[in-house]
Amino acid sequence: MNTTSPAPRSGAIVSVLAAAGITVSVMQTLVVPLIPDLPRLLHASAADATWAITATLLGGAVATPVVGRLGDLYGKRRLLLISTALLVVGSLVCAPANTLAPMVVGRTLQGFGMGVIPLGISIMRDVMPPERLGSSMAIMSSSLGVGGALGLPASAAVAEKASWHTLFWGSGALGIIAGLLVLAFIPESPVRARGRFDVVGALGLSAGLVCFLLPISKGSDWGWGSATTLGLFAASVVILLLWGVWESRQGAPLVDLRTSVRRPILMTNLASIVVGFAMYAMSLVTPQLLQLPEVTGYGLGQSMLAAGLWMAPAGLVMMAVSPVAARLSAARGPKVSLLTGALVIAAGYALALGLMGSTWGVLIFAAVVSGGVGFAYAAMPALIMGAAPPSESAAANGLNSLMRAIGTSTASAVMGVVLAHMTVGLGPVTVPSEAGFRADFIIGACVALLAALVVLAIPGRTGQALAGKPAAVSGPVAEGSAA
């Protein structure tokens, strides 16, 4: 680990990288308030309009492991700037769009920018003083929650009071500011990997992920038993198996499977899938509960903007608990923080069953769940980088981010199916029933408890040094020089 960066700059590095992470998260939530109006705004059918969401998901899933490996090989700061530029270009493509095609292209480019967060965490490992690393990574991880907390009500307010195109002009400006700050304050990491970029591995992983995530996202439209859905799932299995065989035979693979199957990394990645599921379930279900009409007897009758404001404190709680999680990781190890987070998430969903009848109750249980997510997300980078060689840190973090994305995609499908099939009539339309919301909260609690069981399989001392206690890092510190 390199500790030559001047201490006074450490705060600026953390602030800039966290700001870049918040910018990414804001861009992901931009279209959430627009979802009901997307068919009208883009002159498309309801099924086709969802591609504006699906495109970002697929772009992010493909980009995170690929960009991570490119960062290890050619410079993490360089790839961070490229990712930020893709966010800006994507926003500028979306901003004037009035039809589906340019919106899908722009949202895909925004998805490609998702590599900012794992790259930022890896840069911190390479340039931050050891005593500040744990808290710095925790803040970077929590930027996901803060971006959502700020982005949802802000985009709802803009969507209600101004042209929706303003959202993308504004996000483009945020991306430009983030890129300029990175240029000014973030040094290039001195840690590089050797070897060539595995193009075949990148194409194979991308194809396998698209074939897996696409039916998860579109299965409700196509039919879960349709030939298209089942065919894509089957194709993903075949492609990913062949990809695994290819990667295992490469000297410089895109994803080092020998590293990835180490128990600390494997179990942390499995936990990431489950925690990602539990986090997104709250983000998906709670706004619907807040906005349902009061005449249902359980809906809370809030406007789009009001619902965003009631949810905003939950994201801020995620940022607030990150220093606490870092201190717990330093004292007891990041495994304890991750286990604590999973149990707090389960407790939050249990609270939801009794508090879902009021807006203040929603605020409380959403804050508890987000606090648990904050503990979990703060611990994951330390666990991953405690077990991965420094020259593979960006790729390992990118893979971990991919696991979270798989969890969120699965949550969207599962929770959506539950709410779509457990409905009641409201005049000429049907809406999710109270039993449907309760079922989703119970599923969230069970999934969080499953995450806790997975965490118990992680070796106890993994990531201890990276959680905030200075220690020598095993393995080569650098395999090459900085450009």
Residue 1 lies in a domain: no
Quote the pLDDT of residue 345: 95
Element (H, E) at 56: helix 51-74
State how far the Cα of 174 lies from the Cα of 20, in Å rounded to an integer: 9
Q: Which residues pair with 426 in a beta bridge?
A: 429
- Residue 177, judged by CB atoms within 10 A of its CB (0-12, 13-18, 19+), counts as middle
What percent of the chain has a predicted confidence (pLDDT) above 90? 28
Highest mean pLDDT of the ranges 51-55, 199-203, 391-395, 474-478: 199-203
- How far apart are the C-alpha atoms of 456 and 7, rounded to whole Å? 36
225: tokens are 């038993």
| Residue 475 resides in a domain | no
The verdict on 229 and 290 lying in the same domain is no
Q: In this structure, what token pair is assigned to residue 207?
A: 């194809």
Q: Within a domain: residue 93?
A: yes
Return the closest-CA partner of residue 114 out of 187, 178, 172, 65: 65
- Let me know whether 298 and 408 are in one domain: yes
pTM: 0.82
Calpha distance 109→86 (Å, rounded): 6
Find the length of the chain.
Answer: 483
The CA distance from 416 to 141, in Å, is 26
The residue among 373, 391, 393, 371 whose CA lies nearest residue 382 is 393
The pLDDT-based confidence of 262 (bands split at 50, 70, 90) is confident
Residue (of 118, 55, 210) closest to 404 by Cα position: 118
Is residue 150 pLDDT above 80, yes or no? no
pLDDT band, very low/low/confident/very high, at 179 (cuts 50, 70, 90): very high
CA pair distance 401, 122, nearest whole angstrom: 12
User: Lowest mean pLDDT: which of 224-228, 398-402, 439-443?
Assistant: 398-402
Mean pLDDT calculated for residue range 447-459: 90
CB 80 within 8 A of CB 186: yes
Q: Tokens for 410?
A: 């699965």
Token reading at 139: 């803040």
**How far does CA 6 lie from the centroid of its chain?**
31
| 151-176 residues labelled b (16+ CB within 10 A) or e (exposed) | bbbbbbebbeeeebeebbebbbebbb
| Among candidate residues 312, 289, 411, the one with its CA nearest the CA of residue 363 | 312
Q: Choose among 73, 94, 70, 95: nearest CA to 82.
A: 70
Average pLDDT, the chain: 83
For residue 431, what are the β-bridge partners? 424
The reply to whether 267 and 284 lie within a common domain is: yes
pLDDT at residue 173, rounded to an integer: 93
Distance separating alpha carbons of residues 72 and 213, to the nearest angstrom: 26
Residue 117 lies in a domain: yes
- For the chain, state the CA radius of gyration: 21
Q: Are residues 273 and 214 in the same domain?
A: no
Torsion angle of C-alpha atoms 158, 217, 21, 252, degrees rounded to 10: -150
Q: What is the pLDDT of residue 32?
A: 75
* Confidence grade of residue 466 (pLDDT, cut at 50, 70, 90): low
Are residues 349 and 207 part of one domain?
Answer: no
Two tokens at 272? 């990431």
Q: What is the DSSP string of 454-482?
A: HHTTS-TTTTTGGGTS--PPPS-S-SS--
Total count of domains within the chain: 2
Digit-coded pLDDT (tens) for 192-245: 877 788 999 999 999 998 999 888 888 878 888 899 999 999 999 999 999 999
Q: Average pLDDT for residues 378-401, to the nearest whole number?
A: 78
Confidence of residue 250 (pLDDT cuts 50, 70, 90): confident
Q: For the residues 256-283, what does the mean pLDDT come to?
A: 84
Q: Are residues 61 and 204 in the same domain?
A: no
pLDDT at residue 159 tops 80:
no
Reported as a single tens digit per residue, the pLDDT across 321-349 is: 888 888 888 888 889 999 999 999 999 99
Residues 61 and 124 in one domain: yes
- CATH assignment at residue 124: 1.20.1250.20
Same domain? 226 vs 314: no
Highest averaged pLDDT of the listed ranges 212-221, 314-323, 438-447, 465-474: 438-447
**Least confident segment among 15-29, 135-149, 196-210:** 135-149
Calpha distance 138→123 (Å, rounded) = 14
User: Are 264 and 221 found together in one domain?
Assistant: no
Residue 100 lies in a domain: yes
Average pLDDT for residues 253-269, to the nearest whole number? 83
Q: How far apart are CA 344 and CA 348, in angstroms?
A: 6
Q: What is the DSSP annotation of 118-139?
A: HHHHHHHHHHS-HHHHHHHHHH
78 and 187 co-located in one domain: yes
CB-based contact 132:469 (threshold 8 Å): no
Give domain status of residue 476, yes or no: no
Range of the domain at 76: 7-198+250-467
CA–CA gap between residue 186 and residue 13 (Å, rounded): 6
**Hey, what are 363's tokens?**
């605020």
481 is a domain residue:
no
Residue at 477 is within a domain: no
Of these ranges, 153-162, 204-213, 274-283, the one predicted with the greatest mean pLDDT is 204-213
150-164, 367-381, 432-446, range with the lowest pLDDT: 150-164
User: Lowest mean pLDDT: which of 31-45, 144-158, 267-281, 333-347?
Assistant: 144-158
Cα–Cα distance, 209 to 106 (Å, whole number): 20
Same-domain check for residues 219 and 312: no
pLDDT single digits (tens) 411-420: 878 887 888 8
Q: Which of 30-44, 138-152, 230-244, 467-481 has the lowest mean pLDDT?
A: 467-481
Whether 154 and 128 share a structural domain: yes
